A and B are shown apart, each in its own frame.
Chain A
């Protein structure tokens, strides 16, 4: 059978629907313990409740704010440090081992430290999202600048361009392309940071709700929140994908 790749999304959707239906049927037949695996209908009901009484909004807002702030600050810091390290050998010497270490560990283990330093409010979540994103972007930019196409540099030089022209026409667009290429990963990292931070200690946010649901053994709420976070990240991915396609349309 020849599969038309254009219709892949239809097949994926159908497969997903079939899984949901089988899941629901298995639940109703008593094959699944609702304490562990509540049926899709009950998850849907829990999801509906979250929105119906409006109590989800402050939590969504908290997670969004933390993720977005961490994302923006992390990208800015990552670019700045990456450029500095690529241009100034002394900076690279100091930064590279630190960044390599931060890259090697699961950075979420810093969450408890940030809570002690910054409290259970928004800033500790921003800090966690920030550190996750900044290290990623640092390596993207740092290794990217070292691999800038020498031929482009020579081309601009022979056309009479100086240092500033090289930065503007070669280095900046190259950096922008690499950062954009990693934007989706960075978005995922930012939400990871925000949610894990909230999970550790918070009074608001999706991560906080998850922790609450876990402590009350409310598996329907846990599934509802997982699906909600998936949906939120997918929407942001789609937006990031569009931005990427537009800005990298030359590629």
Chain B
């Protein structure tokens, strides 16, 4: 459960939320897109849900629809005509390196490919804000690095604001302009905010060898460890 979170994502900015499990990171994203109600307070995005895209941890594509139909569905649900939607779908699948895979059903795609289809599905709707709930956690290291590169590139190019929830500090730093650290739940809150001093545009893989990367990583790691350790000890009376 998260309390009193105030997070502002500037247009075109990439913001990450890191924190111990159970601090309510996912709930926050779900509240922003309207999947659940905040217990108190309001979510006040200046943009409405149709302009928000959400990438989930799993890649729950419709198993009975081909990749391009899955991507096109995101558009037809919002009133785009089917032939136009399919054209857009092909375009986005191509941008994500899946040209020629459009006719395949999700079952016949690899985990990384399915993730890319899910990404195409969300990006084809041209969202202004992209929410990501640990979207890369289930992928193996190389596939993951490649997708993260693509996400960084597309988000920068399309000037999409992004809010990423992750356990992975490297991922958070290499992608973000700003990282928020949440405290241990229950009654979690935002304890710290870190500006990432890495230049933009940036390649998230290259970013890891930037001299400013390691010091920030160490600080974040120390602070996060302290939060996680707090759960071991009973609350002081």
Contacts and interface: CB of A to CB of B under 8 A. Distances in A.
Interface of A: 149, 151-152, 154-161, 165, 169-170, 173, 177, 249-251
Interface stretch (B60-68, B170-178, B190-198, B215-223): B60-68
Given A154-B35, A155-B56, A251-B107, A160 B62 contact: no
A158 B125 contact: no
26 contacts: A151-B56, A152-B62, A154-B35, A154-B60, A155-B61, A157-B34, A158-B35, A158-B49, A158-B53, A158-B54, A159-B121, A160-B49, A160-B77, A160-B78, A161-B77, A169-B62, A173-B62, A173-B64, A177-B64, A249-B105, A250-B63, A250-B64, A250-B66, A250-B105, A250-B107, A251-B63
Contacts of B73: 156, 159, 169
A29 B73 CA distance: 70
Closest 5 CB pairs of A and B: A151-B60, A250-B105, A158-B54, A161-B77, A159-B74
A19 B62 CA distance: 48
Given A154-B56, A251-B63, 15 more contacts: A151-B58, A154-B35, A156-B73, A158-B33, A158-B49, A158-B54, A159-B74, A159-B78, A160-B78, A165-B77, A169-B62, A169-B73, A170-B62, A250-B63, A250-B66
B179 to A, nearest CB: 24
Contact of A152 (B49, B53, B60): B60
B50 interface: yes
Contacts of B63: 250-251
Contacts, number: 54
Contacts of A160: 49-50, 74, 77-78, 125
Interface of B: 33-35, 49-50, 52-54, 56, 58, 60-66, 73-74, 77-78, 105-107, 121, 125
A155 B49 contact: no
Contacts of B58: 151
Nearest to A173: B64
B37 to A, nearest CB: 14
